[in-house]
Chain A
């Protein structure tokens, strides 16, 4: 079963086609990688899925519902979480408050709705929810610092922790490992694996090929707004079209 289906989506900026007639599926409980050179349309695709950018054509389905026209905040409420390539942290707040406010926002809209176990905070107080997210992402040591003071690698973890308080069904991570060193990346890969065990599907845009190749179940390769190849990490590593796109056609 697929949590996310994208059907023939096209995005044009004026005369420039950023995404051309692209279709893509993300199965439940898997990590789907999205790689491609800069400008291939990865972040644009993320913006289309999360609702920040309407597609010129095509449809987006999430969890069986068509979501192409509903606003971003409604998409988040039905379980679509994301992080940003260029950090979108709440810069006036501490690490902990960044996560806390996310839990509070969740608490706010899920109040008064029926007692579905996904809604509300599932029996946890906001405090407990925040601590859980902090523990999971290993941010305990810096929880009380201002987010502007912490290094990028850890700031990305804050964005992840924030998105996790949504209890997302699908988590879209936009270059989450950039700014992390090798040990951090390795730990991060394990974290992603743990998340999928809890039933979260992940759509991962990443330039760190080591990470992509170790954690992804399936990798899609984008170039010039089109998917040029789909396969397991092993298949992708030997695919000629992919090598061309990344290394230039001469090689």
Chain B
């Protein structure tokens, strides 16, 4: 009984904190339509500020609790909320759901970066509970701390207060009105902007309260741990369908209590070692389940409005040409890069391969997946287990497993490409035999018992793709009904689940494949001791182990190959169907499309690409750890940067991967070098270095609001003028300049930084000069079209333009006017 009371009280207290946090989330969501992913990070940040004011020795510190509370809750938090709304969130109207999700993620990463920047150093920061650790009272033998008591009281007061605010005050009614119909509020003289400001301020205050209340329960302040704790509240918000406050509060309490009871039941994770991490991942499991049970918005007409995002589809020919150019550029660069930069560039390219999975899934098909790196991680683990393994008779077990996976893959993917009936069976048999041959013939480990290899075979990469693809299907299958934000949250839950349950798994998985071998056919120590040593690839007789250059070229070829496939795919019937599904699910359904099958296939394919890329990335790194590089945070950053790069394009994935892995390191290094060279400005350059390393990615993400189509499309627009004949001279001279500088670097006349400082301005100035060049040449065509033939003669080009403008058949006017003899 005593235990029951104790665990119930603990559960209610944490549940109450979740309830407070999620209520803040609901308030901002209902008034702005934006799911504030950064909510958890705001709570974390304000908890750090509070700690600074109360307990730090060097600065601030020793403020009395009431004053510190008032300062944080009534000054800092509302300011954060208001600034966020004014500077960032307000600009998100009319953007796609992907963009609406990415910007708050960027803000979250910005808060994490800023906190890491401000509160550097490994010192322990321990916040104390209210009235100290020993202030408690008791029911029977069970003690209840004053801190817990306060939490529950605060939650109740806030619940009543919010209810009063929303239903009994003018401001609250205005907020609710904005939810119902923003335009109508405006027409009636209301001010939706002011209501939005108020709701963001309230949301931030709620996050701050939750952060301050929960931080003493953690022991020491930890940036990610604290953020993640408040993230647990997301499940509660979904419980209330992001609308209903009482249900949200109930959801919070249910989550808190179930986690607490699970701890009680499992002896804080001691009883069942396999599930030991479930105590930290239970909230996201609940989140996933609640999402599945949630009644979904039905398909309905009228949801489609043109969003600001816009992606063109390149042709296969162009993709092949550009891939060739790309590989040449990489090869050229490799001549002037030191080993360190070669390794960094490889890291960027392998990340770009993983990012390609998001181009397919999110860019083409419009399905949001926040767990790209979870799939990559699973792929890397699968490749490791296959190649290095650790168990008994791994070979036979894996061969059977591989064939089963190949069959499953065939059933999931092939039908969506129109392969059905007898053809389907033939293709699946061919595909699985191919995999079997790969496993048996080309891999010497098979059947040899304990395998331990220096290098990774081609087969391991195929296995990585298959395992990851199958996992993708498993995740997607229950989540097929979900769309947009809800799908994003479901995959987010999955990513956290993988972080906790797979990467932190220390148990050995033993599997008996029926009818084959004796006893345990597969024995896998999933993530032994928190680090896996992944071998480098070894095939075609090339030394990838000691040769970073080979690794770099391999990555660029893999990236190009998959990119070309994706471009071809997009132009195929399959790709058009994905686009159709993204643009209008309702129309697809009424045209007879079975969207579930299509979604399942694209999820499987995308996860397979991610798994393949993950194996490649890990193999380049040689080691992966439980907290690097495939965690949820890295995954969110990669997702964000790929969207920034332009998620509708394969080049967007390239930009995303490179920026993620290289750009900010390069900039950080640049300032670091300056700090070394000019000692007197050291402090300034160090600040700049930290700034780029810690905040750069997040700020790039926030900047997306201005151009939701991403960097790639800006790039295409900017350099479009260089494709014209008139600018050929500019193009050639510019490129020759870059090649010349490159040549100087190859023969070591200049150093790397000089190369960068000369080459990049040339590349950046080329489109500017091109534009100026065009402008000076093309004054005439700027005259209004109506004056054509009056003020100036009609040229063939102009005729064509007129044809296009009035939308008649190609060359109609062109051919017609020739017979009148007016053509010049």
Q: Which residues of A contact B (CB under 8 A)?
A: 43, 47, 50-53, 71-77, 80-82, 84-93, 97, 100-102, 104-109, 111-112, 126, 140-142, 145, 148, 150, 159, 162-163, 165-166, 174
Contacts and interface: CB of A to CB of B under 8 A. Distances in A.
Nearest to B586: A88
Nearest to A77: B592
Contacts of A166: 591-592
B591 A106 contact: yes
Contacts of A81: 590-591
B582 A73 contact: no
A182 B262 CA distance: 70
B590 A82 contact: yes
B301 interface: yes
B593 interface: yes
23 contacts: A47-B301, A51-B589, A52-B301, A52-B590, A72-B590, A73-B595, A76-B590, A84-B301, A84-B302, A85-B302, A89-B304, A90-B583, A90-B587, A91-B583, A92-B582, A92-B583, A101-B573, A105-B592, A108-B418, A142-B807, A163-B590, A165-B591, A166-B592
Interface in B793-824: 807-809
A105 B589 CA distance: 10
Given A89-B587, A97-B576, A105 B593 contact: yes
A89 B301 contact: no
Given A53-B300, A87-B304, A71 B589 contact: yes
Nearest to B594: A73
Contacts of A108: 418, 573, 577, 593
A76 B583 contact: no
B301 A106 contact: no
Given A52-B299, A166-B591, A91 B306 contact: yes
A100 B311 CA distance: 19
Given A73-B589, A162-B591, 12 more contacts: A53-B298, A71-B589, A81-B591, A84-B301, A84-B587, A85-B302, A88-B301, A88-B587, A89-B583, A105-B591, A109-B594, A112-B421
Contacts of B579: 90, 92-93, 101
B299 A72 contact: yes
A107 B417 CA distance: 11
Given A53-B300, A88-B304, A92-B582, A112 B591 contact: no
B584 interface: yes
Residue of B586, B588, B592, B595 ringed by the most chain A CB atoms within 10 A: B592
Nearest to A159: B587
A163 B807 contact: no
Given A52-B301, A91-B306, A141-B809, A73 B592 contact: yes
A163 B592 CA distance: 10
A27 B820 CA distance: 54
Contacts of B735: none
A72 B808 contact: no
B580 A105 contact: yes
B565 interface: no
Nearest to A81: B590
A90 B593 CA distance: 14
B268 to A, nearest CB: 46
B420 interface: yes
Contacts of B310: 92
Contacts of A141: 807-809
A100 B574 CA distance: 12
A115 B204 CA distance: 63
A76 B807 contact: no
A73 B594 CA distance: 6
A43 B301 CA distance: 10
B445 to A, nearest CB: 40
- 7 A-B pairs with the lowest CB-CB distances in the bound complex, closest first: A76-B592, A86-B302, A72-B589, A112-B421, A112-B420, A88-B587, A90-B583
Nearest to A154: B807
Contacts, number: 126
Contacts of A150: 807
Contact of B304 (A91, A105, A162, A174): A91
Nearest to B582: A92
Nearest to B584: A88
Given A52-B586, A82-B590, A91-B306, A145 B807 contact: yes
Interface in B274-313: 298-302, 304, 306, 310-311
B589 A100 contact: no
B297 to A, nearest CB: 11
Contacts of B584: 88-91
A107 B587 contact: no
Nearest to B583: A90
A165 B593 CA distance: 13
A176 to B, nearest CB: 14
Nearest to A143: B809
B614 to A, nearest CB: 29
A97 B595 CA distance: 19
A15 B582 CA distance: 33
Contacts of B304: 86-89, 91
B580 A93 contact: yes
Interface centre among A51, A72, A109, A166 (most CB of B within 10 A): A72
A52 B584 CA distance: 13
Given A72-B589, A77-B592, A101-B579, A92 B311 contact: yes
Given A88-B584, A89-B583, A148 B306 contact: yes
Nearest to B302: A86
Contacts of A51: 589
Q: Which of B576, B579, B586, B591 has the most chain A CB atoms inside 10 A of its CB?
A: B591
A171 B304 CA distance: 22
Contact of B573 (A53, A76, A89, A104): A104
B809 to A, nearest CB: 6
Nearest to B576: A101
Q: Which one of A43, A50, A108, A148 has the greatest number of beta carbons of chain B within 10 Å?
A: A108
A82 B299 CA distance: 14
A156 to B, nearest CB: 13
A90 B579 CA distance: 7
A166 to B, nearest CB: 6
A67 to B, nearest CB: 13
A107 B418 contact: yes
A52 B595 contact: no
A225 B121 CA distance: 69
B481 to A, nearest CB: 12
A77 B310 CA distance: 31
A203 to B, nearest CB: 13
Nearest to A104: B573
A145 B576 CA distance: 16
Contacts of B807: 141-142, 145, 150
Contacts of B573: 101, 104, 107-108, 126
Contact of B577 (A82, A104, A111): A104
Nearest to B804: A145
A93 B809 CA distance: 19
Contacts of A162: 587, 591
A105 B301 contact: no
A35 B325 CA distance: 61
Contacts of A80: 590
A141 B584 CA distance: 25
A232 B589 CA distance: 33
A114 to B, nearest CB: 11
A99 B298 CA distance: 25
